[in-house]
Amino acid sequence: MTAALQALEKLRLPLRYDLYVEGQFVKSSSDKTFTCINPAKKTETIARVAEANVEDAKHAIDIARNAFDHNRGNWVTDYKLREKVLFKTGELIRENLNYIALLETLSSGKTIRTSTRADIPRTADIFEYYAGLAGKVHGESFYLRNGDLSAIVKEPVGVVAAIPPWNFPLVIAARKIAPAMAVGCTVVVKPASYTPFTILEVVKIMEKAGLPKGVLNVVTGPGATVGMELVRNPKVDAVTLTGETSTGRMVMQEASSSLKHISLELGGKNPQIVYDDANFEEAVNGVVFGIYYNQGESCGAGSRLLVQDTIHKKFVERVVEKSKRIKVAPGIREDSDMGALISEDQEQKVLEYIKSGKEQGAVLKAGGDKLHEPGLEDGFFVAPTVFDGVTRDMRIFQEEIFGPVLAVTPFKTEEEALELANDSVYGLAAGVWSRDPAKALRTTRGIKAGTVWINTYYLSPVENPWGGYKYSGLGREFGLEALDEFLETKVVYFDTSGAVHKPHERLVIKE
Ligand code: NAD
């Protein structure tokens, strides 16, 4: 039996989680709870979680506001403390990696390999990276022409509302929380309701790492009420949300009444362009990985394959062959390549898109169905699916499916490839496969997307800013740029000159 299955046997389900406010785990004021199920086995309840309401959200905001305004525990001013807490958090996440990975897989359906080898170590990386930056946020100063001194200082924006989605619950929560906390903000997190509790495990770790009370608060509950309160409440200074483009649009509208800072990481319909001079086998692997990683439930999924007509037939055959060999199994199994989709709704949505692909005339080459084999019948499993002959007018070309469905469209020329790639409201990421560096760079330059991978896919280290063009969002996470989302700029003007030309001389008041 694998380590993950052994650990699962020891877990006493359902787990129970409360809200985390002012350094304490507390029940919701209504005492209500909601349940989280295992998407790979829908009859299994894995957790009961406190369901916050608007009053709880208001209270958590007040606590974070107070912690910021009164510099609780010296959080806002003491960068050494912030560095220590964030760094220790990263270290303790690594020490508890297997346990957290197990919970992440149980709630999200993703494979244990993804959780243990990618998501949880990556979460630790994020905390450590931003720990290192806590003491390195500087402005600049210079003398003006008249000899006066300008000091441009950076200050934390204040209270941040962080609203992550369910597909990478911890990685995305961390990439909001860690930079915000590194610069001295206080935070209220509202996790997605399918996957609300791994962040609460991290909070336990953060307490051990020395987190002062009130600096980080977690309210679990519905987006439409609790999330919306965080977006509307004038005591919140910044909102950072990852979710659907429609949610982002609503957030932008609602946050406008109090003119908050907003950063939005939204949907994607990312093209992978394969030229006929690409390394064939590497490109096939990149395309297969690009669509099926995390069950295709990824904003960065390479869901549109644009392949040059000269290799189109052979390339699709190979992709199909590999798609059929993907092992779909409960994520908890070490040999699972692709786990369950998050929910019945998501499964229905994906199956609807498959139906629309068939109806609109795309050619189904692999998959296309829900899987009912023994071991899968209780979960939300859809087969790795490939459609060829996809044209721009089809929904599966234009809309984000968020599942394991690849849409293939052949192209003839570089110009056509670019035109197809940019024929999307989204602009998050793209892949370009070619052995000709000049061609690859010309294509890269023409693509309207926040990230372009050349001869690889999905690599997104914490140092590289991540975010989208067009409907894929606003602002950037990761890298140094993420810090800007949580900073204000203050100019300090210091009169050093005793100068002759004082501005007030422009207004002469007669005695
Ligand atoms: P979602 O929009 O349904 O929800 C995202 C979060 O917003 C959840 O925590 C939800 O509870 C909350 N929310 C929902 N309605 C709200 C409201 N009215 N006010 C405030 N908060 C609200 O998205 P999802 O289904 O959880 O995630 C999938 C989507 O996220 C996909 O579209 C995907 O492309 C996108 N995504 C983008 C990135 C990126 O980096 N660009 C990364 C991952 C996921």
Q: Give me the pLDDT at residue 502, please.
A: 65
Buried b (16+ CB within 10 A) or exposed e, 244-262: ebebbebbbebbeeeebbb
For 280, the 3-state DSSP assignment is: helix
The fraction of the chain above a pLDDT of 90, given in percent, is: 94
Rounded to an integer, the average pLDDT of 81-89 is: 98
Give me the chain's average pLDDT, please. 96
CA distance 123 to 108: 16
Q: Given ligand 1 and candidates 195, 244, 344, 474, which is best to mutate, with the most ligand atoms within 8 Å of its CB?
A: 244
CB 327 within 8 A of CB 372: no
Tokens 């609203």 — which residue?
163
What is the model's pTM?
0.96
Rounded to an integer, the average pLDDT of 116-137 is: 98
| Atom number, ligand 1, closest to the C-alpha of residue 245 | 32
CA distance 354 to 64: 45
Q: Give me the pLDDT at residue 245, please.
A: 95
pLDDT grade for 21, boundaries at 50, 70 and 90: very high
Tell me how far the alpha carbon of residue 187 lies from the centroid of ligand 1, in angstroms.
18
Which pLDDT tens digit goes with each residue over 298-334? 999 999 999 999 999 999 999 999 999 999 999 999 9
- Active-site residue identified among 83, 128, 201, 265: 265
DSSP state of 74: G
Q: Give me the pLDDT at residue 499, please.
A: 55
Residue 500 has pLDDT above 60, yes or no: no
- Active-site residue identified among 51, 201, 207, 299: 299
Task: Answer yes or no: 299 catalytic.
Answer: yes
Rounded to an integer, the average pLDDT of 358-368 is: 98
Which pLDDT tens digit goes with each residue over 370-396? 999 999 999 999 999 999 999 999 999
- Cβ neighbours of residue 449 closer than 8 Å, sequence gap 6 or more: 270, 427, 428, 429, 430, 468, 469, 472
Whose CA is closest to 48, among 7, 19, 10? 19
Tell me how far the alpha carbon of residue 66 lies from the centroid of ligand 1, in angstroms.
28
Q: Give me the pLDDT at residue 68, please.
A: 98
Which pLDDT tens digit goes with each residue over 52-84? 999 999 999 999 999 999 999 999 999 999 999
